[in-house]
Amino acid sequence: MARLLIDKDTCTGCESCIPACPFGALSMKEGVAVVDEKCTFCGACVDVCPVRAITLEKEEKAATIDLSAYKDVWIFIEHEFGKVSNVSFELLGEGRKLADAVGSKLCGMLLGDKESVDQFAKEAIAYGAEKVYVMESPLLKQYRTDSYARAAVDLIRKYKPEIVLFGATTQGRDFAGTVATTLETGLTADCTGLDIDPETKYLRQTRPAFGGNIMATILDYPNYRPQMATVRPKVFSMPPRDDSRKGEIIRETLQMTEDQVRTTILEFIKGAETVNLVDAEIIVSGGRGVGGPDGFKPIRELAGVLNAAVGASRAAVDSGWIPYEHQVGQTGRTVRPKIYIACGISGSIQHQAGMKTSDIIVAINKDPEAPIFKIATYGVVGDLFTVLPLLTQEFKKRLGR
């Protein structure tokens, strides 16, 4: 067991450590800091103690596996509706840097039927993969947890990558959780930063927690490999495509039959919107200030001119003005567009958790005290029903639409 040790004689009772604990595990008792069972041994308090009264005793975990057997950085090439997801290409771009830092090869892992793997393996190479490990089967035509997890587990067990990265999409998160559990290895969710520790060459994975209020950097113990992570879309930029690149394709066939797959996809009901929130470069969002379902009309008009997706705050969704799939925030979707235009949204912590990493935030609100202005790049105090039509008109004029 690990232990957090607080030296009672050294502790001055300054209380610096108390707010530093993300889990609220520290408190003061008789003038010195004490720790309770909420402690997760993250070590956040160790660094802030001005008198070094806190030490963390970690159990030494020696490597019990042959680490040198694990090589290369693998990127899961996710595809849906006959198209590779952009996040997979973004990860090939970032994966290149990681592979160079550990001195290994950058590879794609591609699962699908014949038609899709033939096409997408070439694309993975064009975006930087030196090798593509392919599992081909009609059972892999569409993503299903059972067949995909089996395929990935078989490939990973056979070829032993050191690092495997997935997009943190609904598919990637459904998939990676199953693969990591089957392999009994570590998985870090929803990363926004990746780098290689220069000394140990281990993967350092950085991710937001507590609705983005804190960031945590996570490592995998050396007796678990591969190191796996899901990574948020749009964090890394797309690498250039070069169709003249050459790469090796390694093909395997899936040893599985349809009756071993426990789910069947009956149909897919496409969303009513032409632009979806997760892929959108621009989002126009409405909150309590829109006042009713009709209040989304000026929002949709501006979104139409900008080819933007329509978002909403929880207040608007819970009032029944717009369906849940539009909700941005902690209990809705997390988005990262280039431009987020918040209209009549006050900007609660929960809403911010879903959108504050947008490149540019424009806030339009009647209340000059609304918290949204604190994170906005540009703020306009005014009634959205006056401001939006003017904005729509001006964009139409400039864009000639």
Partner 1 sequence: MKIAVCIKQVPDTTDVKIDPKTNTLIREGVTSICNPFDEYAIEEALLLREKHGGEVHVITMGPPQAIEVLKNALAVGADRVYLVSDKAFAGSDTLATAYALSKTIQKIGEVDLVICGKQAIDGDTAQVGPGVATRLGIPQLTYVSKIREINLEKKKIIVERLLEHGREVVESSLPALLTVVKDINEPRLPSLLGIKKAAKAQIPTLTAKDIGADENRIGLKGSPTWVVKVFSPEARGGSGEMLKGELTEIVPLLVNKLMDTKFIK
Asked whether the beta carbons of 302 and 385 are under 8 A apart, the reply is no
Shortest spacing between CB 278 and partner 1, in angstroms: 5
* Residue 5 is a binding residue for partner 1 (CB under 8 A): no
Whole-angstrom distance, CA of residue 193 vs CA of residue 203: 10
* Residue 319 is a binding residue for partner 1 (CB under 8 A): no
Identify the bridge partners of residue 110 per DSSP, sorted by sequence position. Answer: 134
Residue numbers 325-364 binding partner 1 by CB under 8 A: 325, 327, 330-332, 338-339, 348-350, 353, 356, 359-363
C-alpha 384: how far from chain center? 31
Interacting span for partner 1 (CB under 8 A) from 88-96, 239-247, 287-295, 385-393: 385-393
Q: Which two tokens stand for residue 204?
A: 């350092």
Shortest spacing between CB 244 and partner 1, in angstroms: 27
Answer for which of 187, 194, 284, 299 binds partner 1 (CB under 8 A) is 187
What stretches of 59-100 adopt beta strand conformation (E)?
Answer: 73-76, 79-80, 83-84
Q: Of the candidates 158, 173, 300, which has an alpha carbon nearest to the alpha carbon of residue 232?
A: 173
Residue numbers 69-108 binding partner 1 by CB under 8 A: 80-81
* Residue 219 is a binding residue for partner 1 (CB under 8 A): yes
Q: Parallel, antiparallel, or unpaired for β 32-35 and 26-29?
A: antiparallel
| Residue 211 exposed, middle or buried by CB count within 10 Å (0-12, 13-18, 19+) | middle
Answer for which of 6, 22, 159, 297 binds partner 1 (CB under 8 A) is 22
242 or 359: CB nearest partner 1:
359
* Residue 62 is a binding residue for partner 1 (CB under 8 A): no
Contacts with partner 1, 148-167, as mask; x by CB under 8 A? -x------------------
Answer for which of 13, 43, 292, 293 binds partner 1 (CB under 8 A) is 43
* Residue 301 is a binding residue for partner 1 (CB under 8 A): no
* Residue 304 is a binding residue for partner 1 (CB under 8 A): no
Asked whether the beta carbons of 339 and 391 are under 8 A apart, the reply is no
Whole-angstrom distance, CA of residue 332 vs CA of residue 395: 29
Answer for which of 178, 285, 313, 346 binds partner 1 (CB under 8 A) is 178
* Residue 375 is a binding residue for partner 1 (CB under 8 A): yes
Q: Which two tokens stand for residue 163?
A: 């690092």
| Residue 313 exposed, middle or buried by CB count within 10 Å (0-12, 13-18, 19+) | buried
Rounded to 10 degrees, the C-alpha dihedral 291/294/298/300 comes to 120
112 or 226: CB nearest partner 1:
226
Interacting span for partner 1 (CB under 8 A) from 103-111, 133-141, 289-297, 322-330: 322-330
Residue numbers 225-284 binding partner 1 by CB under 8 A: 262-271, 276-279, 281-282
* Residue 293 is a binding residue for partner 1 (CB under 8 A): no
